[in-house]
Structure 1
Amino acid sequence: MQTIALDKLVEQTKEEVIAWRRHFHQHPELSFHEEKTAQYVYETLQSFGNLELSRPTKTSVMARLIGSQPGKVLAIRADMDALPIEEENTFEFASENPGVMHACGHDGHTAMLLGTAKILTSLKDEIKGEVRFLFQHAEELFPGGAEEMVQAGVMDGVDMVIGAHLWAPMKLGKVGVAYGPMMAAPDTFYITVEGKGGHAALPHDTIDSIAVAAQVVTNLQHIVSRNTDPLDNLVLSVTQFVAGTTHNVIPGSVEICGTVRSFDAELRKSVPALMERVVKGITEAHGAQYKFKYEFGYRPVINNDELTKAIEETVLEVFGEETLELMKPNMGGEDFSAYQQKAPGTYFYVGAGNKEKDIVYPHHHARFTIDENALEIGVNTFVHATFKLLD
């Protein structure tokens, strides 16, 4: 397909894609509860024609576009779930569901893939092979929707898979690609420090769970700074510390929770034992007890070089050199990695931030939003990349 012809089709769908994004933003649904979102997506896809539709899980949708000529199978994925956040934006399409908000851009991802599907269905006779559109539920909540969809067979026969994330820290007009490691494996830990509660004026009659737990938090940081190679990528963050009820009572226990992020499989496996050694040593030294639980989350997103090169070439051909940004890995997590276990895949970023419009708030913030002009860039990249990869 000629670039000019595809660009025109993308431009013609721009307002519709924006309208879809606003609909999803106004009606967000939490992970594993995307019933109305999935139904809306299904009915919209149905209106396009030329698609074989199915519901791999209760709240997901798959659409298959079989081209007129034989060829490979390309899957394109978008996530659909929202977050448990009370929205503070005041625009007219702000969330109507109390305590639920699209604060990560998934509304835009879903709209972009609908736009891509609409354009490609109109070009069925030009397509070699198959395009499989995966509208996924529950990216935000482990064990995640991607693994469920893979188990349901959405990747059977797929030769390659691509996906994109609208990225507010990146300014509008940029598309970011990364070779190799792209996003980390996000694991979660839970620690309970059990001491002996009592009167705050009589600390000698207690085992101060807060004092012990504070040392646990401090010493866990030594795992990154002193127990692992400085050249390895590892993050260990304590994000919850819950204890106590009032000013004059030393509590009997403290609950600690946090996350570990890594890329290397061997390093990842070693972390739980290193953590528990720290927790065990400190609690025993002070006569306290502990409970330790470690949950392995999504696998790291590792991009395939060949597919990444194809996305890079697409960006250069469609938008020019000023649009392309070669990115470093980041320590965020994504269950897109589940698809990469079944076929080579690459995941890229579409810049959606704009300081001039005050679109500066980070993902998962109550005032997060995107510059909607990014949607057209995302659709354009998907559409052109489809023909490059299938040809």
Structure 2
Amino acid sequence: MQVGRGFTAFQSGLLSIGYLVCVLGMIRVGEKILQRIGARKPMIMGSSITAIGIALMALTFIPGILYTILVFIGFALFGVGLGMYATPSTDTAVSNAPEDKVGVASGIYKMASSLGGSFGVAISATIYGVIAASGNVDLAALVGLLTNVAFCIVSLIAVIVTTPRAKKSFICRTQSIRRSIAMRQQLMKMLTERKDEIIQIRRHLHAHPELSFHEEETSKFIRDFYKGKDVDVAEEVGGGHAVVVTIKGGKPGKTIALRADFDALPIHEETGLPFKSENDGVMHACGHDGHTAYLLVLADCLIKLKEEIPGTIKIVHQHAEETPPGGAKGVMESGILDDVEQIFGIHVFPFGESGEVYYHSGYSMAGRTYFKLKVQGVGGHGSSPHMANDAIVAAAYFVTAIQTVISRRLNPFDTGVVTIGSFDGKGSFNVIKDAVLLEGDVRYMNTETRDKIDKEIHRIVSGIEAMFGVKTELTYTNDYPPLYNDPDVTKQVVASLEKGVGEYLTTVSEYEMLSGSEDFAYYLEKIPGVFFYIGAKPKGTEQVYFNHHPKFDIDEDALLVAAKAVADVVLDYYKLD
């Protein structure tokens, strides 16, 4: 166009340099305009503005200096449009680049993408003008075309060279996502295929229950299960029969723990099940047989897939949950969980259907205190109370007085329970008892309430001594602390569980605080984590018996639900879902 209007080669070169500077400068202007107006379709807008610029440059019939001005305006619009067009495509191209390389990659990419449009146009125009001035217009056109092609190739090479890591990162992430999906599918399939094994293990354990701190055979069964597997097994952990299995993943990362308890209760079983307890007077009446069964199989599946796990998983098979001070206390004091970042546990819940999962954030289960009080008076004949000091009267007053701790000393919005479960004052009908022994239980939902009740009960005992002239001996033991589910970890777990809704879960619901106690609270005092509940109401039964009842039973389908729920929590924690 320049030659056609009679421009010399020198004039054409100067104009081309001017066009080049104009385009490069206006690219940045286009970026700023885009940032300010926030165009919803910037690539379409940029292309339109670029087309307008090219159209202005094509108005060769415009006379004199006016055409030169139009050409500069056209190149300016060309630059603005290119800046608007290149910005979103550049952002997409470098979005997967390493964080510290994004700025550099973005700048180089934009420069590369503008080479064909700015350098190509300006420099090829100059070359065309120089050759065409000699009279060989055909050669000038061919060289101009080849110059543009060369710059397009340079642009493509620049893009490839400057963004390979971004492309590789994107591919790696895609492959990682595919591997994660495949791993979840594989793990869930493995668990489904081993459902019968989970049930078989549960029934074996149910038939052979053992009391807290006496679980020798159960501990041996667990240890034997892991024989020959590529894991580290720690035995007799925490001064009891606990077994801690360490699964080291194929990649470095954080450590988490999964826990299941395995002790039973001193209860005579009345379920009538074909696999009922063979140890008379001992029963798995709290579901610990099911807890152990699901976790054994889940752990074995994780062992088979451990090369994909970026971290370490510790499987805690814990003894003596039912009897204070609780096996969890000893496990924590052993130091074997000192490197654990988060810990998770479940409990079967007979009032929820299989497929239902329940959770509570914050303080979720009550703490527990055991106390024993001996009231020592002076014995005597029933006909001469003035010559004795009746311990039963003093002890009876204590029973009544401690109820005022709950009704008159606690904030009405705080929860506390004081129970006298044993009052040993048996004697002859006409003998004034010289001593009485009481045993009781205290429950509370937070440590502040615990401390308040503790203080008030000690105060009342001192008052009994002063009021009745008796002597007392009080044993007051705070054993299980309130169970506190970390709110942030709870949100994380709920999000993980909700992925199973419609697959193996029907609902994931928040439940009220429970007044029962659980020594899993010892773990949560030191390690952030969550303890949640798996619905396990037996099918086809109208009467549901709660934990610790002689007829307690569960829906065994819930054990597979438990395994898959905890599996999803693990996968989500390691971003393998």
Partners of 2:225 and 2:187 in 1: CA distance: 21
Q: 1:9 aligns with which of 186, 190, 211?
A: 190
SS in 1 for 2:427: coil
**Higher alpha-carbon deviation: 242-251 or 158-167:** 242-251
Structural RMSD (CA): 1.9
1:334-381 CA deviation, whole Å, 9 max, x = no partner? 221222233211110111123733561121112212111111110011
The verdict on how the C-alpha distance between 1:291 and 1:355 changes in structure 2, with shifts beyond 3 A counting, is farther
SS in 1 for 2:226: helix
Partners of 2:254 and 2:208 in 1: CA distance: 36
CA drift at 1:204: 4.5
Partners of 1:381 and 1:246 in 2: CA distance: 58
**Higher alpha-carbon deviation: 279-288 or 140-149:** 279-288
The verdict on how the C-alpha distance between 1:88 and 1:249 changes in structure 2, with shifts beyond 3 A counting, is farther
Provide the identity percentage: 37
SS in 2 for 1:245: coil
Structure 1 unaligned runs (5+)? none
1:297 maps to 2:479: yes
Decide whether the 8 Å contact of 1:155 with 1:342 is kept in 2.
no
Partners of 1:71 and 1:378 in 2: CA distance: 25
Partners of 2:546 and 2:390 in 1: CA distance: 37
Partner of 2:467: 285
Q: 1:326 aligns with which of 510, 519, 529?
A: 510
SS in 1 for 2:358: strand
Q: 2:218 aligns with which of 27, 37, 57?
A: 37
Partners of 2:354 and 2:437 in 1: CA distance: 41
SS in 2 for 1:215: helix
Structure 2 unaligned runs (5+)? 1-179
1:181 maps to 2:355: no
CA drift at 1:245: 2.8
Q: 2:235 aligns with which of 51, 55, 71?
A: 55
Partner of 1:19: 200
**Higher alpha-carbon deviation: 184-193 or 1-10:** 1-10
1:39-75 CA deviation, whole Å, 9 max, x = no partner? 101111225x232222152511111111112221110
1:224-282 CA deviation, whole Å, 9 max, x = no partner? 11011111122211111111134333322221111111233233223222112223323
Partners of 2:491 and 2:227 in 1: CA distance: 33
Partners of 1:234 and 1:313 in 2: CA distance: 32
Higher strand share: 1
Partners of 1:249 and 1:355 in 2: CA distance: 55
Aligned ranges 1:56-71 → 2 under 5 Å: 56-57=236-237, 58-71=240-253
1:368 maps to 2:552: yes
Aligned letter for 1:338? Y
SS in 1 for 2:515: coil
1:280-309 CA deviation, whole Å, 9 max, x = no partner? 323432333322221111222111122211
Partners of 1:59 and 1:305 in 2: CA distance: 32
SS in 2 for 1:385: helix
SS in 1 for 2:227: helix
SS in 2 for 1:32: coil
Partner of 2:293: 111
SS in 2 for 1:335: coil
Decide whether the 8 Å contact of 2:230 with 2:303 is kept in 1.
yes
Aligned letter for 2:547? H
Decide whether the 8 Å contact of 1:30 with 1:138 is kept in 2.
yes
Higher helix share: 2
Aligned ranges 1:216-255 → 2 under 5 Å: 216-255=398-437
Partners of 2:317 and 2:250 in 1: CA distance: 23
The verdict on how the C-alpha distance between 1:358 and 1:120 changes in structure 2, with shifts beyond 3 A counting, is farther
Partner of 2:309: 127
So what's the TM-score if we normalise by structure 1? Answer: 0.94
The verdict on how the C-alpha distance between 1:221 and 1:107 changes in structure 2, with shifts beyond 3 A counting, is same
The verdict on how the C-alpha distance between 1:208 and 1:352 changes in structure 2, with shifts beyond 3 A counting, is same
Decide whether the 8 Å contact of 1:359 with 1:369 is kept in 2.
no
So what's the TM-score if we normalise by structure 2? Answer: 0.65
Q: 2:535 aligns with which of 351, 354, 357?
A: 351
Partners of 1:342 and 1:277 in 2: CA distance: 31
Decide whether the 8 Å contact of 1:353 with 1:359 is kept in 2.
no
Partner of 2:70: none
Decide whether the 8 Å contact of 2:378 with 2:434 is kept in 1.
yes
Q: Which has the higher contact order (CA 8 A, sep 6+)?
A: 1
Q: 2:268 aligns with which of 79, 83, 86?
A: 86
Partners of 1:280 and 1:171 in 2: CA distance: 49
1:341 maps to 2:525: yes
The verdict on how the C-alpha distance between 1:202 and 1:88 changes in structure 2, with shifts beyond 3 A counting, is farther
**Higher alpha-carbon deviation: 133-142 or 290-299:** 290-299
Partners of 2:233 and 2:539 in 1: CA distance: 40
Partners of 1:351 and 1:359 in 2: CA distance: 16
Partners of 1:356 and 1:199 in 2: CA distance: 59
**Higher alpha-carbon deviation: 30-39 or 321-330:** 321-330
Larger Rg: 2
CA drift at 1:216: 1.1
Partners of 2:354 and 2:256 in 1: CA distance: 27
Decide whether the 8 Å contact of 1:55 with 1:62 is kept in 2.
yes
Decide whether the 8 Å contact of 2:363 with 2:446 is kept in 1.
no
SS in 2 for 1:356: coil
Partner of 2:53: none
